[in-house]
A and B are shown apart, each in its own frame.
Chain A
């Protein structure tokens, strides 16, 4: 019997979607888009300066002053002691490196895969990478304690005639994070040059003119300049992806290479990478919401379709994270090693077990219950809340792995509950510094890559196909 297609009683909403709701099909003249981005940059409210002032004070006190105290009085000011020598400073390091993965993922992987909806928010994500890595780097130095001896890790001969041991995972970490910071900063700068040239052209006199003129480095947009720029950007887009994977894999090896219960795991590399993407994607959702809500004209550039894209990525990544987490959980559980069992029991039933349950709720229940629905994914504030909760969950995940995990070792007489002390204000300081840098950058550099948006709009067309209009994409690159 032949099947008959019956009309739905209530057609799906997307069947009646207007293609012009998509940024790529709603073009404005380039000059107008430039003007909108410049106006957004140069519009500041008293609230903006109030928040900036508060953040500056927090950074000065929570980061500057407290760090001074830590340096002057030593690591005893922190909660680290036997067996918890690795505490919140390293939790922050791993967390901020995780946040930094979003920029590369969105800007490089989505660029390579030609995902068009990436265009308006690549720079916002790249900026997160650079500023996130700054916090990660600072956190490492906080953990180091005697920061003035940092040069011992550099490959320069010293008076002790001992050079760094490049066989140590900590040295791999130094190399990987340094490479990633440098490369992601260069990758941020490259596509920024044409927009800085635009800002230079639209700025009349004053220190801002000098600022943009200097940073635009004489870019005009000749054929040769574009060719060199796009070639370099293509090299970066492909080359930075394996570097991104390597960074968090190497961070995971700081733990996995140690023969400790709970840490020595062969799946830690990919598990850490997917965890980094989980927190990074969620952080991008928060940033997009904040930009859209606070920056003038950004509602034109950042639309529900972009939140939908982010929501789908967040859902996919949360499923992958759950898979890796279960993988990392099941094998030691099944293996029955007494020390691994003790770590798991301490995590699930110990005095900080509530952190474990909050983590699972935030990392799995929240995304799986909120992000399956397209309408909810397209709701900016809802996605931002999901992003915030996921980041709470991912921070707790790192906390559980590092200070909680390190509590249980093979010497029970050393077991001790870790309690952060000076780490708390300094952690708040890193968050404040991240926000402060981002807020200042939002007033100095165009956060929307206007030339990339225009390039995308030129490539997209609506074509009549049957009784409807469909989106077509020309390969102009």
Chain B
């Protein structure tokens, strides 16, 4: 079996790009072996692709729970460790508990969602990657792997559905 090669197909618009995805699927390229790079978010159903898995919500939820417990510690744990008697006020009040717990829960939720976005996307990453700056100018790139011996077949197939260019691509510094 010949070695796999990575090709980058450029499309001007969404329609030919979605046809390109369909063509690659017909040619036997699995969904895991292709990736669509675009300058705006494109819903997976528009391209006929499976939905990308994200763990951001789960990481955010974990952060919210962590923040909630931290808030509860602040409002109840600290007065337990170091009771500070303020005239007539209870040491463990319920209404004030909601305020600090709410703030810490939201901080945990958003802080961890932010960190989760970084972790799940592998950011920051300054290693070489397959990319072309034309993407941020509005073009759609289809990145996929295929056997090098069949390269011409894939190039012809994608050009037939409207690819502007299809060429081998090497990882480079962004």
Physical interaction between A and B = yes
List residues of chain A with CB under 8 Å of any chain B CB: 29-31, 34, 155, 161-167, 171-172, 175-176, 178-179, 182-183, 186-187, 189-190, 194, 197-198, 200-202, 213-214, 216-232, 235-236, 239-240, 242-243, 246, 250, 451, 454-455, 458, 476-477
* From B46, B56, B81, B104, contact of A232 by CB (8 A): B56
Min distance, Cβ B114 to any Cβ of chain A, angstroms: 4
Kindly list chain A residues whose C-beta atoms are within 8 Å of the C-beta of B100. Answer: 166, 171-172, 175
Kindly list chain A residues whose C-beta atoms are within 8 Å of the C-beta of B117. Answer: 190, 228-229, 231-232
Kindly list chain B residues whose C-beta atoms are within 8 Å of the C-beta of A218. Answer: 122-127, 129, 174
Min distance, Cβ A216 to any Cβ of chain B, angstroms: 7
Q: Which 8 A-B pairs have the closest CB atoms?
A: A30-B138, A201-B133, A218-B125, A31-B137, A217-B124, A226-B41, A227-B52, A198-B136
CB pair A197–B106 under 8 Å, yes or no, is: no
A376 to B106, CA, bound (A): 40
Residue B162 at the chain A interface, CB threshold 8 Å: no
CB pair A223–B135 under 8 Å, yes or no, is: no
A451 to B42, CA, bound (A): 12
Min distance, Cβ B17 to any Cβ of chain A, angstroms: 12
With contacts A172-B103, A229-B41 known, is A202 near B133, CB below 8 A? yes
* From A29, A178, A476, contact of B43 by CB (8 A): A476
CB pair B103–A179 under 8 Å, yes or no, is: yes
CB pair B38–A226 under 8 Å, yes or no, is: yes
Min distance, Cβ A109 to any Cβ of chain B, angstroms: 16
CB pair B133–A454 under 8 Å, yes or no, is: no
CB pair A220–B174 under 8 Å, yes or no, is: yes
Min distance, Cβ A458 to any Cβ of chain B, angstroms: 7
A164 to B93, CA, bound (A): 15
Residue B26 at the chain A interface, CB threshold 8 Å: no
A227 to B84, CA, bound (A): 47
List 8 extra interface pairs beyond A228-B54, A235-B113, CB under 8 A: A155-B78, A166-B75, A190-B117, A201-B135, A223-B49, A226-B42, A231-B117, A232-B113
Q: Provide the B106-136 mask, 1 if CB < 8 A to any CB of A, else 0.
A: 1101110110111011111111010101011
Kindly list chain A residues whose C-beta atoms are within 8 Å of the C-beta of B36. Answer: 222-223
Kindly list chain A residues whose C-beta atoms are within 8 Å of the C-beta of B54. Answer: 224, 227-228, 231
Kindly list chain B residues whose C-beta atoms are within 8 Å of the C-beta of A166. Answer: 74-75, 78-79, 96, 100
Kindly list chain A residues whose C-beta atoms are within 8 Å of the C-beta of B38. Answer: 221, 226
With contacts A167-B89, A186-B114 known, is A222 near B37, CB below 8 A? yes
Between-chain CB contacts (< 8 Å), 27 pairs:
A30-B39, A161-B82, A162-B84, A163-B81, A164-B78, A166-B100, A167-B89, A175-B74, A178-B107, A179-B103, A182-B107, A186-B110, A201-B137, A220-B37, A220-B129, A221-B38, A221-B135, A223-B35, A224-B54, A224-B120, A231-B57, A232-B56, A232-B116, A240-B106, A451-B39, A454-B138, A477-B43
CB pair A230–B129 under 8 Å, yes or no, is: no
Min distance, Cβ B28 to any Cβ of chain A, angstroms: 20
CB pair B174–A216 under 8 Å, yes or no, is: yes
Nearest-CB residue, chain A, relative to B136: A198
CB pair B40–A239 under 8 Å, yes or no, is: no
Min distance, Cβ B116 to any Cβ of chain A, angstroms: 7
Interface of A is mostly: helix
With contacts A190-B114, A224-B52 known, is A239 near B109, CB below 8 A? yes
A165 to B89, CA, bound (A): 11
* From B41, B44, B110, B123, contact of A219 by CB (8 A): B123
CB pair B41–A477 under 8 Å, yes or no, is: yes
Kindly list chain B residues whose C-beta atoms are within 8 Å of the C-beta of A226. Answer: 38, 41-42, 52
Nearest-CB residue, chain B, relative to A177: B103
Kindly list chain B residues whose C-beta atoms are within 8 Å of the C-beta of A230. Answer: 41
Which residue, of B43, B74, B113, B122, has the highest number of chain A Cβ atoms within 10 A?
B113
CB pair B129–A183 under 8 Å, yes or no, is: no
CB pair B121–A176 under 8 Å, yes or no, is: no
Residue B99 at the chain A interface, CB threshold 8 Å: yes
CB pair A155–B56 under 8 Å, yes or no, is: no
CB pair B118–A217 under 8 Å, yes or no, is: yes
Nearest-CB residue, chain A, relative to B127: A218
Kindly list chain A residues whose C-beta atoms are within 8 Å of the C-beta of B51. Answer: 227
Min distance, Cβ A338 to any Cβ of chain B, angstroms: 25
Kindly list chain B residues whose C-beta atoms are within 8 Å of the C-beta of A477. Answer: 41, 43
Min distance, Cβ B138 to any Cβ of chain A, angstroms: 3
Nearest-CB residue, chain B, relative to A224: B52
A224 to B38, CA, bound (A): 11
Which residue, of B51, B109, B138, has the highest number of chain A Cβ atoms within 10 A?
B138
A175 to B133, CA, bound (A): 42
CB pair B138–A31 under 8 Å, yes or no, is: yes
CB pair A223–B123 under 8 Å, yes or no, is: no
Residue B102 at the chain A interface, CB threshold 8 Å: yes
Kindly list chain A residues whose C-beta atoms are within 8 Å of the C-beta of B1. Answer: none
Residue B20 at the chain A interface, CB threshold 8 Å: no
